[in-house]
């Protein structure tokens, strides 16, 4: 709390050292040096002037830095939004205070306001992530403590293992979750995905297939599982089986972009160009930034002799090409969310 408050405040140092009481200036300087015991009496004296918003805010920041959130909060949240920098500083400190005192509702409310006011502010985004992470940890801890026998404990453990690249542990936890609640939806789907991530062997394809089929028994209209079965069939060289799974996935979810692309590519290969182009164009309309869709459409145009259109798709693709997403995006992907079309 202290270090962060100081960091926030240092950024303001240049702007607040304008003409004013020497007590206030000395107090702010002491705050920025981390000498809160020196800052506190000086800022308390300066804040006796009720009109001195800066002194009041820095007094509250000092109190917060010293762990006295209860006293600090009223002044922190009273900082007027018109004082942009002070409002931001006080808001951040107030969120931390609310969070530390367990008043999560107040913390979220204030974070939303800060997020709207400062949407591109790294400190605001950082604190938002941190508060939500704390909420995640608190809820996880509570679940493990209060409902240790629930399948959800195993499901969550498995998801965490997946993020940590511990796929064999994830597989084991998903199996325990299924054992605890054989009828829970999505578990077989996630297990199938974890199996595919755990192993590269042909046997893994079969094991994963079984899980996706099990998911379909529980959720007969699960397009994502149909799509996964199609992909496995394709890798195994069973083109017609793959096609039927993709078609079924598309029937279940008409805007399922990955299924549209898969079928579009198959139609291109079969020289069914109008059909392929229709499906792939639909995919690019649904997801204009989808590189795979544009590349498949490029190929369909090229193979059908429509070189101008193929080149236009290439130009679009060139614009979309960018360095691979970073670790953080990979991290999120590993959460194993189903495709957005679901």
Q: How far is the CB of 292 from other proteins (least distance, A)?
A: 4
Given 14, 51, 105, 323, the residue binding other proteins (CB under 8 A): 323
* Interface with other proteins: number of residues (CB under 8 A): 36
Residue 105 or 203: which CB sits closer to other proteins?
203
Q: Which residues between 150 and 169 bind other proteins (CB under 8 A)? A: 164-165, 167-168
281 binding other proteins? (CB under 8 A): no
**Does residue 327 bind other proteins (CB under 8 A)?**
yes
Tokens at 228, concatenated: 């996964």
In terms of CB distance, is 146 or 200 closer to other proteins? 200
- Cα–Cα distances (Å) from 160 to 169, 194, 228, 300, 305, in that order, read 10, 12, 22, 40, 48
Cα separation, 120 vs 48, in Å, equals 35
C-alpha angle with apex 28: 91 to 8, nearest 5 degrees? Answer: 35
Shortest reach from residue 233's CB to other proteins, in Å: 10
300 touches other proteins (CB under 8 A): no
- Does position 314 interact with other proteins (CB under 8 A)? The reply is yes
Is there binding between residue 201 and other proteins (CB under 8 A)?
Answer: yes
**What does residue 253 show for φ and ψ, rounded to 5 degrees?**
-140, 90
Nearer to other proteins, 119 or 326 (CB): 326
282 binds other proteins (CB under 8 A): no
Interacting residues of 75 by C-beta distance below 8 A, sequence separation 6+: 56, 57, 59, 60, 63, 90
Distance of CA 328 to the CA centre of its chain: 9
**In whole angstroms, what is the distance from residue 189 CA to residue 162 CA?**
14
311 binds other proteins (CB under 8 A): yes
Burial of 155 per CB tally in 10 Å (0-12, 13-18, 19+): buried
Site track for other proteins across 167-196, x = CB under 8 A: xx----------------------------
Q: Interaction with other proteins in 92-131: which residues (CB under 8 A)? A: none
Shortest distance (Å) from residue 157 CB to other proteins: 17
> How far is C-alpha 31 from the chain's CA centre?
35
Q: Retrieve residue 84's tokens.
A: 């942009």
Nearer to other proteins, 213 or 314 (CB): 314
Of the candidate residues 239, 254, 288, 335, the single one contacting other proteins (CB under 8 A):
239
- From residue 312, give the alpha-carbon distance in Å to each of 176, 260, 282, 298, 323: 51, 20, 16, 8, 21
Alpha carbon distance 302, 70 (integer Å): 68
Binder of other proteins out of 57, 209, 214, 234 (CB under 8 A): 234
Residues making contact with other proteins (CB under 8 A):
164-165, 167-168, 198-202, 234-237, 239, 265, 269, 291-292, 294-296, 298-299, 302-303, 310-311, 314, 317-318, 321, 323-324, 326-328
């Amino acid at each position: 709390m202290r270090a962060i408050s100081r960091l926030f405040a240092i950024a303001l140092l240049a702007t607040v050292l304008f003409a004013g009481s020497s007590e206030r200036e000395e107090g702010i300087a002491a705050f920025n040096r981390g000498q809160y015991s020196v800052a506190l009496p000086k800022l308390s004296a300066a804040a006796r002037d009720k009109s001195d918003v800066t002194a009041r805010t820095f007094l509250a920041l000092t109190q917060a830095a010293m762990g006295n959130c209860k006293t600090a909060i009223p002044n922190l949240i009273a900082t007027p939004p018109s004082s942009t920098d002070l409002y931001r500083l006080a808001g951040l400190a107030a969120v931390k205070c609310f969070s530390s005192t367990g008043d999560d509702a107040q913390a979220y409310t204030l974070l939303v306001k800060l997020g709207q006011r400062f949407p591109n502010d790294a400190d605001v985004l950082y604190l938002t992530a941190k508060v939500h992470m704390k909420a995640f940890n608190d809820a996880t801890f509570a679940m493990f403590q209060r409902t240790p026998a629930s399948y959800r404990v195993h499901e969550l453990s498995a998801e965490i293992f997946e993020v940590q690249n511990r796929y064999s542990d994830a597989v084991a936890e998903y199996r325990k979750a299924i054992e605890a609640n054989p009828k829970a939806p999505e578990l077989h789907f996630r297990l199938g995905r974890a199996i595919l991530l755990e192993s590269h062997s042909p046997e893994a394809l079969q094991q994963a297939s079984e899980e996706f089929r099990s998911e379909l028994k529980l959720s007969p209209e699960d397009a994502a599982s149909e799509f996964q079965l199609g992909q496995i069939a394709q890798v195994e060289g069973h083109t017609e089986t793959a096609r039927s799974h993709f078609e079924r996935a598309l029937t279940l979810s008409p805007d399922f972009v990955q299924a549209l692309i898969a079928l579009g590519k198959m139609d291109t290969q079969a020289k069914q160009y109008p059909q392929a182009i229709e499906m792939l164009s639909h995919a690019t309309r649904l997801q204009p930034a989808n590189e795979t869709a544009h590349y498949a459409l490029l190929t369909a145009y090229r193979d059908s002799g429509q070189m101008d259109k193929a080149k236009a798709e290439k130009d679009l693709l060139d614009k979309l090409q960018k360095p691979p997403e970073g670790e953080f995006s990979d991290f999120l992907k590993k959460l194993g969310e189903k495709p957005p079309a679901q």
